[in-house]
Structure 1
Amino acid sequence: MHAAPLPRRFAPSNPLTGRIRVPGDKSISHRSLMFGALAIGETRVTGLLEGEDVLATAAALRAMGAQVERGEDGTWSIRGVGVGGLLQPRTAIEMGNSGTSTRLLMGLIASHGITATFTGDASLSKRPMNRVIEPLSRMGAQFHGAPGGTLPLTMEGMTPAIPIEYRLPVASAQVKSAVLLAGLNAPGITSVIEPVPTRDHTERMLKGFGAAIEVEETGGERTIRLTGEADLSPQTIEVPGDPSSAAFFIVAATLVEGSDLTIENVGLNPTRAGLIAVLREMGADIEELDRRDVGGEPVADLRVRHAALTGIEVAPALAPSMIDEFPVLFVAAALARGTTRTTGLEELRVKESDRLSAMATALAAIGARVEETPDGLVIEGTGGEPLPGGGPVATHLDHRIAMSMAVAGLASRQGVEVDDTRPIATSFPSFEALLAEASA
């Protein structure tokens, strides 16, 4: 990131039309690099998201012995070291803003006999790591660092690690994935019990790489069992478009009058598609075209047309399947008719920023009627009238706050000024260019 903030005013928009393609799914991009690094042989990946978070994962894996290279045609090649083959990094592993990279790599290292120090930027250094430290410590890893489990943090892996059965105390795909990744190099069966299903890219992809993994659903709970000391086989992966990135354009096209936009190749994994279900319930016009399977993941082109929205009560059970999309849903709710109420969103307080507080403050600053509760927001919509606009709104170095408020600017009277657009590069470097293309 540049040293100085990059403010920008996002002005009221022309209709969003034509066809666009959003970058590759961030969750799948991280995992394709990590699993490729643990396979023996060459894994090839197309459509990889080349944002700062994913590049931090690639750099960390190089530091631990994997060969990770980008070809001129944009295809990535990963030559892995095999499960158990990671090497001691010579210097601290710099994670930037990426909580996913940090938590998943801690899982990888936990069952290797190596020591690594993790550092990150100011935002990441405030985020809690105790949720992965606790189960990984039970598997034998040791952690040294700041009280409260924040970065910088040094961890010592353990070989052989101890397989455990772990019930997730909070719905978190990152914690589940960290435990399963540690289990890859632990003898015996590592089990994770999910009271609430979370995104399942780790299970799908590990199965594709040849791991012995079973998923059982009983009484509404999911139990994932992984047999350790796995041998992973290299794969060829096409990364589908990131639904969390598509979300900004889905909401923008819904809100801006006259819009008719097709977003190509969007991943529609059911553990990630909550936003589309909620927007449809509010009245959005979202059509799935050419639904297909790519590498075990459901994919479709989404045609989105402007539609009037009505406020709803969002079921808390949907939260894990759209946890990153709530900031932009709050923008949609601010222009709906009637009241939208969300609950069960405590997890949003420990993201890149406290997203409940940040979005409540930002929306109020541009004229929305919003009330913050301990676990959600209550938003009284305008009935389709544009928001007044204004700003500058504070993004708190959070890419999703910045992009959500950019979308709010498109559907405002006088535009919305965002205090810093630099964080957008962590997940969606081409966001502003695609926005200009769609509204040209």
Structure 2
Amino acid sequence: MSRHGAPIPMTARKGGPLQGAAHVPGDKSISHRALILGALSVGETRITGLLEGQDVLDTARAMRAFGAEVTDHGGGEWSVHGVGVGGFTEPDQVIDCGNSGTGVRLIMGAMATSPVVATFTGDASLTARPMGRVTEPLALFGAQAVGRAGGRLPMTIVGAADPVPVRYAVPVPSAQVKSAVLLAGLNAPGETVVIEAEATRDHTERMLAGFGAELSVQDTEDGRVITLTGQPELTPQAIAVPRDPSSAAFPVCAALLVEGSDVLVPNIGLNPTRAGLFYTLQEMGADLTFENSREEGGEPVADLRARFSPNMTGVAVPPERAASMIDEYPVLSVVAAFAKGKTEMRGVRELRVKECDRIDAMAQGLRAAGVIVEDGADWWIVHGRGPGDVPGGVTVQSRLDHRIAMAFLVMGLATQRPMRVDDCGPIGTSFPIFEGLMTGLGAGLTRSN
């Protein structure tokens, strides 16, 4: 069941080509961080292009609960009057982060070194996800966490009254963990150091520097070393949020699979730590081009043009690329089903602990639709059937996961028989205009009973 009410089943079926411009929403990762760092600044931060999906709205509500003044001016324009580093007040109510693992983990980090207590909860998907990967490093600062068995929500965090700086090597590639530690380090004296063996998305580092934090990044033999000097006064910013590459993945991949399609997706953020899917698609032989490359707000941006690509072949995705495309593996596996040969995806253990076990969810759905899939603890292989040769004709479960729902809807646009997804309500957490955008391009999506 969707968090927001009764399930919303949808059916996707083959139709005519997809044509036109797909104006996808603002980047979710950057939207979360803009609200949080705006709340930790002194003065007014102005944000344009904010993603107004439920995940980000839940973060905005949380910042209000911690004392920041957050205002929606309409049309994606927001302002945040911050309380400064260490200025959070204690919330009166439980903080409900809905479906957002990013939101809850970053907010926990932001409050963990202030002398306040907060209790966090979420929907059925989020309360099943482990929080220990964040609460363990936050404990090094002096914060305490009490939650359900297995380190799950609901969970109460007691912020450190006298925080100490931390040096922390992230055990598995995770931008959420890295960011939580850096945000906690803002209110700790001295230098907090985070070491990544593999680089993950660096929006937090870029934005911290933009807000005036003293931060350095070095590539060493031990990995990527990020050093943050604590207790700065952050300066409010004007932030233009680029369009979300993770959302762009769905109209782009749909265009590659639907005969005769030609779709332009403007203003997509192409941060190197986020663009792995697009490079992988090009290696598979996709007709995907970058146009009008430029830089906006410190982030590389371009317009993406995707055209029907019937001659794609499977590839072995380099494991070291996983961090730059971790959220895009579900829809990549759909593209792989229509390619020739096998596509290998390794080093993706993180997919097992997302909104659901995404490897299992996609493997089960692909198999039901007639595709051979092998999978293990941190890998999976999709054996492509080639263009036009995937049977489909089944109902699959979204498992309360927005990306699983959208991936299978994209699949149904190219299968021989329609694909039905049991609940597409979770799509609203990250891509609330998905249905209208895709049908506007000509996609055969309908709500079904």
Q: Which position in structure 2 is the counterpart of 1:215?
A: 217
Residue 326 (structure 1) aligned to one of 313, 324, 329: 329
How far residue 243 of structure 1 moved from its aligned partner, in angstroms, is 0.4
State the distance in 1 between where 2:396 and 2:142 align: 44
Q: Which position in structure 2 is the counterpart of 1:57?
A: 59
Matches within 5 A, 1:11-22: 11-22=13-24
Residues 14 and 417, structure 2, Cα contact 8 Å, conserved in 1 = yes
Q: Does 1:70 align with 2:72?
A: yes
How far residue 74 of structure 1 moved from its aligned partner, in angstroms, is 3.2
Residues 53 and 101, structure 1, Cα contact 8 Å, conserved in 2 = yes
Q: Does 1:152 align with 2:159?
A: no
Residue 418 (structure 2) aligned to one of 415, 418, 422: 415
Identity %: 57
Q: Which position in structure 1 is the counterpart of 2:346?
A: 343
How far residue 320 of structure 1 moved from its aligned partner, in angstroms, is 0.4
Query: Which 5+ residue runs of structure 2 have no aligned equivalent?
Result: 444-449
Q: Which position in structure 1 is the counterpart of 2:378?
A: 375
Residue 9 (structure 2) aligned to one of 2, 7, 14: 7
How far residue 383 of structure 1 moved from its aligned partner, in angstroms, is 1.7
Residues 27 and 244, structure 2, Cα contact 8 Å, conserved in 1 = yes
Residues 160 and 185, structure 1, Cα contact 8 Å, conserved in 2 = no
- Counterpart amino acid of residue 18 in structure 2: L
SS of structure 2 residue aligned to 1:338: strand
Residues 160 and 187, structure 1, Cα contact 8 Å, conserved in 2 = no
State the distance in 2 between where 1:433 and 1:415 align: 19
State the distance in 2 between where 1:278 and 1:117 align: 41
How far residue 434 of structure 1 moved from its aligned partner, in angstroms, is 0.4
Q: Which position in structure 1 is the counterpart of 2:446?
A: none
Q: Which position in structure 1 is the counterpart of 2:168?
A: 166
Residues 336 and 382, structure 2, Cα contact 8 Å, conserved in 1 = yes
How far residue 344 of structure 1 moved from its aligned partner, in angstroms, is 1.2
State the distance in 1 between where 2:76 and 2:250 align: 25
- Counterpart amino acid of residue 13 in structure 1: G
Matches within 5 A, 1:121-136: 121-136=123-138
How far residue 220 of structure 1 moved from its aligned partner, in angstroms, is 6.8
How far residue 387 of structure 1 moved from its aligned partner, in angstroms, is 1.5
CA pair 261-110 structure 1, distance change in 2 beyond 3 A: same
SS of structure 1 residue aligned to 2:76: coil
How far residue 73 of structure 1 moved from its aligned partner, in angstroms, is 4.1
State the distance in 2 between where 1:34 and 1:72 align: 19
State the distance in 2 between where 1:401 and 1:157 align: 35
Residues 193 and 227, structure 2, Cα contact 8 Å, conserved in 1 = yes
How far residue 240 of structure 1 moved from its aligned partner, in angstroms, is 0.4
Q: Which position in structure 2 is the counterpart of 1:427?
A: 430
Matches within 5 A, 1:32-431: 32-219=34-221, 221-307=223-309, 308-431=311-434
CA displacement, residues 228-276 of structure 1 (integer Å, 9 cap, x when unaligned)? 0011001001100000000111111111111111001100000000001
Residues 196 and 220, structure 1, Cα contact 8 Å, conserved in 2 = no
How far residue 406 of structure 1 moved from its aligned partner, in angstroms, is 0.3
Residues 123 and 352, structure 1, Cα contact 8 Å, conserved in 2 = yes
TM-score by length of 1: 0.99
TM-score by length of 2: 0.97
SS of structure 2 residue aligned to 1:54: helix
How far residue 85 of structure 1 moved from its aligned partner, in angstroms, is 0.5
Between 1 and 2, higher relative CO (CA 8 Å, sep ≥ 6) is seen in: 2
How far residue 317 of structure 1 moved from its aligned partner, in angstroms, is 0.7
Residues 22 and 251, structure 2, Cα contact 8 Å, conserved in 1 = no
SS of structure 1 residue aligned to 2:105: helix
CA displacement, residues 257-299 of structure 1 (integer Å, 9 cap, x when unaligned)? 1111100110000000000111110001111111111110000
C-alpha RMSD of the superposition: 1.0
CA displacement, residues 198-236 of structure 1 (integer Å, 9 cap, x when unaligned)? 000000000000000000112371100000001100100
Residues 337 and 385, structure 2, Cα contact 8 Å, conserved in 1 = yes
CA displacement, residues 300-338 of structure 1 (integer Å, 9 cap, x when unaligned)? 000111112101111111100000000000000000011
User: Comparing 351-360 with 363-372, which one deviates more in the overlay?
Assistant: 363-372
State the distance in 1 between where 2:14 and 2:389 align: 9
How far residue 375 of structure 1 moved from its aligned partner, in angstroms, is 1.7
SS of structure 1 residue aligned to 2:329: helix
How far residue 195 of structure 1 moved from its aligned partner, in angstroms, is 0.3
Q: Which position in structure 1 is the counterpart of 2:447?
A: none
- Counterpart amino acid of residue 290 in structure 2: E
State the distance in 1 between where 2:18 and 2:189 align: 53
How far residue 145 of structure 1 moved from its aligned partner, in angstroms, is 1.7
CA displacement, residues 339-376 of structure 1 (integer Å, 9 cap, x when unaligned)? 11111111100000000000000111111121222222
Residues 144 and 154, structure 1, Cα contact 8 Å, conserved in 2 = yes
State the distance in 2 between where 1:362 and 1:256 align: 20
